[in-house]
Structure 1
Amino acid sequence: YLKSHPANEGWKIFVFTHAPPNGSGLRVLQEIHVVNGCCWLNHSNEQRCRKFIELVREHRSIKGWFSGHFHLGQDYQDSITFPTIPREEGPYPNRGSCVFAQTSVMRAGTSRDGRQQSRLLRGNSKGFEICTVDHAKGGTIRLDATITYRDDSHELGVYAHPDESLEHDNYFKVRMPQEDDDGYMCGPEDETECVLSDDPVDEQDNYWWRLSCGRVLGLTNGMLLEYDSSTLAPLGLVVSADELVGKRIAVIDSGIEECEINFDADGAMEEDPDCDMEGFDEREQAVIMYDENYEVTVIQPNEDGSYWRKIVRNKIARMKERRREKAALEFAAKGLEEDKSNVKEKVQSSWGPYTTTSGIAKSTVVPGTEKAPKPTAFVSR
């Protein structure tokens, strides 16, 4: 559809989805959506999550994208984000030619910040206007932003009023890094280990860094988060504040020393005959957390290379899990000839997480449950 409706033919496309795409730059909730990894469309799948912003970047006929996932009001300026210009001309990330807008809720019982608002989109010969309909104030209409088309592939947005955030609204905001901002600490270009701070982490720290593999990690509100390597949007929680505050973070090299890349006097790479240079993409690093006594915790990445913890499963997967548990409960109740409410404690689930670096499986016991006693004798039948 997008290919057959290009910007250079005058097409203007507006998209409406429940959740916004990764890279939209809209305000997100740290305590709910970031921690649980459910901020963006297809958040649980890295490639599928990023495809929407890539479509926006490629197809400049997409002019507006509206979403309502966060249940937040429309008084914050970051409830609307404007397109960014090319990297060589100014701030990044690139949002194509699209304006992203957060849409609030009409009913007080579903609002997270007390606002009761919806959006009104008004088109004109030069572009369009985004307005707020305030249902708590009798349906009054307020102009929020004016967007003017400069040509088929570019538009200019102007906010119509200052940010109206309240004092407590910082609770709702998660800091998003920006390329070349003051919070950038270190990256693949740094050859030595990176101790991110001489002082223990506190909730006021805001800095971020890139690993040699391209992954982006950062500290905000006392939490260690992972950010998308392209859009710098928050992906999810790596270490919570209750575990991290008061400790320090460092990035150290962890690869085999003999496989480090060296260069000769002419700048040519010297290959080590004992190393597989074809499979060498970047130097291996370890992210560690430690206290004043050097009690060290290695923050291991997931098997796919990401760091953010998938604390909450995909909603469809959880529905299936509950159905399996219900079936197991009915099975146990039938076998014991008892009511299901009396056998709940006999049914539990096992997900089999990896808990050790050992390559030998030793136990599949669910943590918190008792092991069956060892038999005193074996009988063959």
Structure 2
Amino acid sequence: RQTRIVQGSSTLWKIFTINHHLREETSTNNKANVRLDATIDMTTGEVLLANDATDFDDQDEWFQAYVPQEQDGCYLDTPDGLVAEAGDSTDKVCWWHMADGKVLGLHQGQLVEYDAETLSPLGIVVHRENLQQRQVMVVQDGTAVVLVDNNNNNNNTKNNNNNNNN
């Protein structure tokens, strides 16, 4: 778990991350690790990042947030039925409103939930490993998302056909 803290005045803001799982090794009272992420000069608008992105390993594994836009051409007006075929969800970018107002979308092979008002990404609903080779369907008038594993369906169909022949 992490918490973000913004500390500032009318001229300078500092953004910190508190990592509740990492503890300071030098601390005798078990304090959580606090990291300065950025400093923002409110007069000039200059943002100074405390950590260069090249300092971190596994940059290929980073999630790059796609923020839906009203006119981006990726919006599905009526997502009833098949949204993504098995195998094409890794390249597909689309988003839609569910019946309850929640906003879901496919991006980088993952099913992502977005804030309904700002369309900012809230989190990953289904990770890419769990979405591979599955169809994504919106059913029951937009009240449910269903993942269909074609491999399991083929096995079930074969078993049902064998049972019908007996």
TM-score in same-fold range (> 0.5) = yes
Match of 2:93 among 181, 206, 214: 206
Q: Identity rate of aligned residues, in percent?
A: 25
Task: Show the counterpart of 2:137.
Answer: 250
* Residue 112 of structure 2: aligned partner: 225
Secondary structure of the structure 1 residue equivalent to 2:129:
helix
Residue 285 of structure 1 corresponds to which residue in structure 2? 143
**Residues 105-153 of structure 1, C-alpha deviation per residue, up to 9 Å, x if partnerless?**
xxxx947xxxx7522222xxxxxx21245779xxxxxxxxxxxxxxxxx
The aligned residue for residue 18 of structure 1 is 5
- Equivalences for 1:158-307 in 2 at 5 Å? 168=59, 171=62, 173-187=64-78, 193-253=80-140, 283=141, 285-293=143-151, 295=153
Deviation, 1:210, is: 1.1
RMSD: 3.8
Larger gyration radius, structure 1 or structure 2: 1
Q: 1:242 to 1:172 in 2, by over 3 A?
A: closer
For normalisation by structure 2, the TM-score amounts to: 0.58
Which ranges in structure 2 are unaligned for 5 or more consecutive residues? Answer: 19-33, 154-166
User: Larger % of helix: which?
Assistant: 1
For residues 96 and 129 of structure 2, what CA distance do their matches in structure 1 show? 21
The one-letter amino acid paired with 2:5 is H
C-alpha distance 69-196 of structure 1, shift in aligned 2 (>3 A): farther
Greater relative contact order (Cα 8 A, min sep 6): structure 1 or 2? 2
Cα distance in 2 between the residues matched to 1:64 and 1:170: 35
Q: Which amino acid aligns with 2:75?
A: Y
Aligned to 2:45, what secondary structure does the other structure show?
A: strand
Number of aligned pairs? 127
| Structure 1: stretches of 5+ with no match in the other structure | 1-16, 20-62, 72-108, 123-128, 137-164, 254-282, 296-381
Instruction: From the superposition, tell whether residues 201 and 70 of structure 1 become closer, same or farther in structure 2 (CA, over 3 Å).
Output: farther
Post-superposition Cα deviations, 1:325-363, rounded to whole Å, max 9, x if no partner, equal xxxxxxxxxxxxxxxxxxxxxxxxxxxxxxxxxxxxxxx
Decide whether the 8 Å contact of 1:223 with 1:241 is kept in 2.
Answer: yes
SS of equivalent residue, structure 1 residue 242: helix
The answer as to whether partners of 1:201 and 1:244 remain within 8 angstroms in 2 is no
1:59-88 Cα offsets, whole Å, 9 max, x none, are xxxx999562569xxxxxxxxxxxxxxxxx
TM-score (norm 1): 0.28
Deviations along 1:225-255, whole A, 9 cap, x unmatched?
11111111112221122111221101122xx
